[in-house]
Amino acid sequence: METLKKEVQETAAIKSVKMTGAEAVIRCLLEEGSTLAYGYPGGAIMPVYDELYKYRDQFHHVLSRHEQGAIHSAQGFARVTGKVGVVFATSGPGATNLVTGIADAQIDSTPLICITGQVGSHLLGSDAFQETDIIGISTPVTKWNYQITKASEIPEVFAKAFYIAKSGRPGPVLIDITKDAQFGELDFSYNKCVKVRSYKAIPKLNIEKVKEAAEIINGAKKPFIVWGQGVIIGSAEQEFKNFIEKTGIPSACTGLGLSALETDHPLHVGMVGMHGNYAPNVLTNQCDVLIAIGMRFDDRVTGNLNTYAKQAKIIHFEIDPSEVDKNVKTDVAVLGTVKESLVEIIQFVNKANHQEWMKEFHKLYEIEKEVVINEQLNPTKEGLTMSEVLAGINKETKGEAVIVSDVGQHQMIAWRYAKFTKTRSNITSGGLGTMGFALPAAIGAKMGAPDREVIAIIGDGGYQMTIQELGTILQTKAAVKIVVLNNSFLGMVRQWQELFFDRRYASTVMTNPDFVKIAEGYGISANRVSKREDLASAIKTMIASKESYFLEVVIEPESNVFPMIPTGASVSDIRLS
């Protein structure tokens, strides 16, 4: 992998220079400090690719093997760095292949700029070759989108796009550029955007609400915090820690909130949600005050809303006004950034500890440990469990790795068992649940954090959805570690079939290829493990590798992820078996 330039000097007032629209696109990206993009060329974006060639000393373009791979890589990069991910694709199929990633970024609030080529403006609407209405298609899944038909629009639109993508609650922006706008000339000068009049990125913090929230927290006997990705997106990890340590409140996270607080922190009581931990789910329905911080009460977190925390006063710290009262009715909503809100509220909350209440969490953890965790980590069965693989990785990496998980059983196991010591370490497709996310996202994560160990944890199903990205690894030498947990099933669907469809395994049995040979075909060292005694050394070898490495672990085929809140059930009805 080439070294990626991270710093770009802030240029003072730039003189206006004549150039083509295509060159202006690259210049805009450089002005925004972006020096890396993922993409795939094609007819309608060729003028921009020609400029990418000319600017190759300043701007690094990664050729993915499919546009979906490109956008997931950009997401991985954005999630691990907090910067805006950039993707290029051509018109028509190139653009439509981005759609899954755009929807994924929208629902998980990931800042992206997607640049698509478009047919010449004189051909718009004529069903020209590789023409598709990507503005129409992407509208419901973008934070903003815009079609450029004149070269002169480029600097202003890009400035606005970057501002929108990264400000407030971040999200994906798509810019569609007609081919004539790429060829056309403009007088280029660039001013960063700091405001869009119709867009309020961050609501003004209302100090009265902060005080109201503090008063409720100070009076609480059994307060409980659920935090989400907002803590990470808002770079508020330290403020969050200060807040919970002062108030002594037991805190659980959502799947996307993982890694904002180190797993071993004494106030970290696990993860809520469908396959979360027993204690935080059950005690959601016993707390007297529920403090939601930077999370959006997803249905996978709340289970049945009619029985969700009805006994509790709800305080919601949120940046997006449309999330307040959307799913769970709040008593006090504090609108603003997590960081600013926590900085304010910490002055008004009393120092406290809730040891008796905390004991409830410990008690229930012991039950979960006895019924679920012990058997997962020290199985009596012969077959390997996914959990012991995660435990092996924890041991080898000391919890310092970036864990990129795909979607399914292995993802739930990764969320449950991976240990985190650093923030931005759990890269995963949360809201959309996009199978095929992990391999390309891991490539982006590695490029965003080249000094960190990046391990993709993938099932045998999801792996084959974007397996072509092994080619991107071959070409870029991105040192991604790939762990495929192979149970020869679409495991999560199979689990539901077992539990709710009378074991009718409709289309979930997988006949898989020789994954080791495939990896080796792409020049990646590979190993397969099926025995417990070989696991530890195999993980050790993988971590020790300076290059990309593939490890397939053959998993007990019919094992289930527990605890589990069945769909429509209450969080407190979480099943341990």
Catalytic residues: 67, 129-130, 179, 492
Whole-number Å distance between alpha carbons of 149 and 412: 45
Within 168-197, the residues that bind other proteins by CB under 8 A are 191-197
* The binder of other proteins chosen from 12, 15, 57, 198 (CB under 8 A): 198
Nearest to 480 by CA among 554, 558, 572, 549: 549
Centroid of chain to Cα 499:
29
State yes or no: residue 150 binds other proteins (CB under 8 A): no
Task: Report which DSSP code applies to 263.
Answer: T
Shortest distance in whole angstroms from residue 319 CB to other proteins: 11
Identity of the residue, 15 or 197, whose beta carbon is nearer to other proteins in the bound complex: 197
Comparing CB distances to other proteins, the nearer of 174 and 249 is 174
Question: Closest separation between CB of residue 523 and other proteins, Å?
Answer: 44
Q: Is 54 in the site for other proteins (CB under 8 A)?
A: no
Q: Are β-strands 17-20 and 36-39 bridged in parallel, bridged antiparallel, or unpaired?
A: unpaired
* Minimal distance, residue 323 CB to other proteins, in Å: 8
Q: Tell me the closest approach of the beta carbon of residue 496 to other proteins, in angstroms.
A: 25
Distances (CA, A) of 45 to 42, 118, 179: 6, 7, 7
In angstroms, what is the minimal distance from the CB of 543 to other proteins?
Answer: 43
Query: Which residues have a Cβ under 8 Å from the Cβ of 393 and sit 6 or more positions away?
Result: 401, 403, 418, 455, 483, 539, 543
Q: How many residues bind other proteins (CB under 8 A)?
A: 32
Work out whether strand 223-227 and strand 251-253 pair parallel, antiparallel, or are unpaired.
parallel
- Residue with smaller CB distance to other proteins, 152 or 541: 152
Nearer to other proteins (CB atom), residue 175 or residue 364:
175
For the chain, first and last CA: distance in Å? Answer: 45
- Closer CB to other proteins, 195 or 540, in the complex: 195
Q: Are 400 and 262 in contact (CB under 8 A)?
A: no
Give the nearest distance from C-beta 528 to other proteins in angstroms.
44
Buried b (16+ CB within 10 A) or exposed e, 20-49: bbbbbbbbbbbbbbbbbbbbbbbebbbbbb
* Residue of the chain from 16, 58, 139, 374 that contacts other proteins (CB under 8 A): 139
Is the CB of residue 528 less than 8 Å from the CB of residue 516?
Answer: yes
Torsion of CA 65, 71, 76, 82, to 10 degrees: 150
Residues with Cβ within 8 Å of residue 576, at least 6 apart in sequence: 278, 367, 368, 371, 372, 562, 563
Choose which of 61, 65, 79, 143 interacts with other proteins (CB under 8 A): 143
The nearest distance, CB 302 to other proteins, in angstroms, is 16
Q: Is there a cis peptide before residue 563, judged by omega within 30 degrees of 0?
A: yes
Interacting positions 371-410 with other proteins (CB under 8 A): none
* Minimum CB distance to other proteins smaller for 194 or for 506: 194
**Residues in 322-351 at the binding interface with other proteins, rule: CB under 8 A:** 322, 324-326
d(CA 230, CA 508): 35
Cα torsion 529, 530, 536, 541 to 10°: value is -10
Q: Does 318 bind other proteins (CB under 8 A)?
A: no
26-34, 119-127, 159-167, 367-375 -> range binding other proteins (CB under 8 A): 159-167
In the bound state with other proteins, the residue whose beta carbon lies nearer, of 320 and 498, is: 320
**Binding segment toward other proteins, per CB under 8 A, in 63-71, 150-158, 220-228, 546-554:** 150-158
In the complex, what is the shortest distance from the CB of residue 422 to other proteins, in angstroms, rounded to a whole number?
32
b vs e for 466-487, b when ≥16 Cβ sit within 10 Å of the residue's Cβ?
Answer: bbbbbbbbbebebbbbbbbbbb
Among 199, 266, 311, 576, binds other proteins (CB under 8 A): 199
Q: Is 16 in the site for other proteins (CB under 8 A)?
A: no
How far CA 172 is from CA of 34, 107, 199, 511, in Å, comes to 15, 9, 15, 36
From the number of C-beta atoms within 10 Å of its C-beta (0-12, 13-18, 19+), residue 385 rates as: buried
Task: Measure the CA–CA gap between 338 and 344, rounded to whole angstroms.
Answer: 10
Question: Which segments within 304-367 are labelled E, that is strand?
Answer: 313-318, 332-335
Q: Does 140 bind other proteins (CB under 8 A)?
A: yes
Give the shortest CB-124-to-other proteins separation in angstroms: 11
Q: Of the ranges 198-206, 341-349, 421-429, 533-541, which one interacts with other proteins (CB under 8 A)? A: 198-206
Contact pattern for other proteins over residues 96 through 135, marking x by CB under 8 A: ---------------------------------------x
- Which tokens go with 312? 């509790």
136 binds other proteins (CB under 8 A): yes
Assess 144 for contact with other proteins (CB under 8 A).
yes
CB 431, CB 107: distance < 8 Å = yes
Q: How far is the CB of 211 from other proteins (least distance, A)?
A: 23
The interface region with other proteins, picked from 144-152, 268-276, 306-314, 336-344 by CB under 8 A, is 144-152
Nearer to other proteins, 114 or 561 (CB): 114
The footprint of other proteins (CB under 8 A) covers 135-136, 139-140, 143-147, 153, 156-157, 159-160, 163-164, 191-200, 320-322, 324-326
